């Protein structure tokens, strides 16, 4: 299986060919701030909601290379927007990083279980 990866730090794009999870490190800059290696396992989740229905949802997960991922979603009425991401303690701004097109399935499942049915992950799409 070939997986195309893009580093969240330097933007380098490279292909990983193999059956096991990728090495969880950028080939160009050495950063561990790359997409999950294999499936994520949700380790923790929390939810805060204000009286007017605005809420924040946090989902923590670990990948198959023991890297931690923390997703922060701002939500209202079942719709959410990814507003924060940390990979192994390093912050990635999802509004500035076009590599985040969708969230991993385990994170989406956790968010749905907490009432967030639709999440915008990456940059807003440009209208023509």
The pair of structure tokens assigned to 76 is 């209202």
pLDDT tens readout for residues 42-52: 999 999 999 99
Domain assignment of residue 2, yes or no? no
Give the chain's mean pLDDT.
Answer: 87
- Give 97-125 pLDDT, tens digit per residue: 656 667 889 999 999 999 999 988 764 44
Total domains, the chain: 1
Is the residue at 22 inside a domain? no
Residue 3 lies in a domain: no
Average of pLDDT values for 21-34? 90
Mean per-residue pLDDT for 19-34?
90
CA distance 48 to 123: 24
Q: 105: domain range?
A: 35-120
Residue 88 belongs to a domain: yes
For residue 9, tell me if it sits in a domain. Answer: no
- Residue 108 tokens, joined: 């989406």
Question: Is pLDDT of 21 > 80?
Answer: yes
Coil, helix or strand at residue 45: strand
Q: Is residue 84 part of a domain?
A: yes
Q: Does the pLDDT of residue 2 top 60, yes or no?
A: yes
Instruction: Determine, yes or no, domain membership for 105.
Output: yes
In percent, the amount of the chain with pLDDT more than 70 equals 90
């Amino acid at each position: 299986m070939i997986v195309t990866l893009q580093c969240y730090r330097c933007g380098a794009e490279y292909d990983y060919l193999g059956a096991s999870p990728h090495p969880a490190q950028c080939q160009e800059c050495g950063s561990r701030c790359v997409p999950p290696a294999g499936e994520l396992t949700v380790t923790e989740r929390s939810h805060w909601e204000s009286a007017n229905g605005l809420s924040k949802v946090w989902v923590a997960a670990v990948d198959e290379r023991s890297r931690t991922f923390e997703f922060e979603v701002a939500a209202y009425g079942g719709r959410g927007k990814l507003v924060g991401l940390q990979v192994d303690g390093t912050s990635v701004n999802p509004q500035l990083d076009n590599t985040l097109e969708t969230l991993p399935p385990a994170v989406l499942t956790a968010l749905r279980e907490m009432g967030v049915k639709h999440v915008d992950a990456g940059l807003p799409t440009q209208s023509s």
